[in-house]
Amino acid sequence: AQSVAQPEDQVNVAEGNPLTVKCTYSVSGNPYLFWYVQYPNRGLQFLLKYITGDNLVKGSYGFEAEFNKSQTSFHLKKPSALVSDSALYFCAVRGGNTGGFKTIFGAGTRLFVKA
């Protein structure tokens, strides 16, 4: 069965420091990989995606993610965190050999950026 794991419930980082939010997936074939962000009392917003090509993809608000096929990981990164980055982040996968059109989400990682 397809699954997405976000091993950290919460990540704390000081403003100005680099941040990483981890994601690993278990999907056969070549799925599409996504990151979404959710601010309080809001819906999810698309940040970035990996379809094919360069393993480092850039997205909104200065975020980027690195795809590693051998480790089946898709970690979200930002070189310098802002307090306003504090939110709930979801990794998601779609497609692969059996996934089709369904998007499977991880449980989410709450990011706290301290001033």
Partner 1 sequence: ETGVTQTPRHLVMGMTNKKSLKCEQHLGHNAMYWYKQSAKKPLELMFVYSLEERVENNSVPSRFSPECPNSSHLFLHLHTLQPEDSALYLCASSQGLGGSDTGELFFGEGSRLTVL
What are the residues whose beta carbons fall under 8 Å from the beta carbon of 114, sequence distance 6 or more? 12, 13, 14, 15, 83
Q: Which residue, 59 or 81, has its beta carbon nearer to partner 1?
A: 59
Question: Is the separation of the CB atoms in 107 and 24 below 8 Å?
Answer: no
Choosing from 8, 82, 103, 112, the residue that interacts with partner 1 (CB under 8 A) is 103
Contacts with partner 1, 16-55, as mask; x by CB under 8 A: ----------------x-x-x----xxxxxx--x-x----
Choosing from 40, 54, 70, 100, the residue that interacts with partner 1 (CB under 8 A) is 100
**Of 14-22, 65-73, 78-86, 99-107: span binding partner 1 (CB under 8 A):** 99-107
Minimum Å gap between C-beta 86 and partner 1 is 18
Residue 4 to residue 32: CA distance in whole angstroms: 12
Instruction: Quote the radius of gyration of the chain (alpha carbons, Å).
Output: 14
**Burial class, 43, CB count within 10 angstroms (exposed 0-12 / middle 13-18 / buried 19+):** exposed
Residues that bind partner 1 (CB under 8 A): 4, 32, 34, 36, 41-46, 49, 51, 90, 94-95, 100-103, 105-108
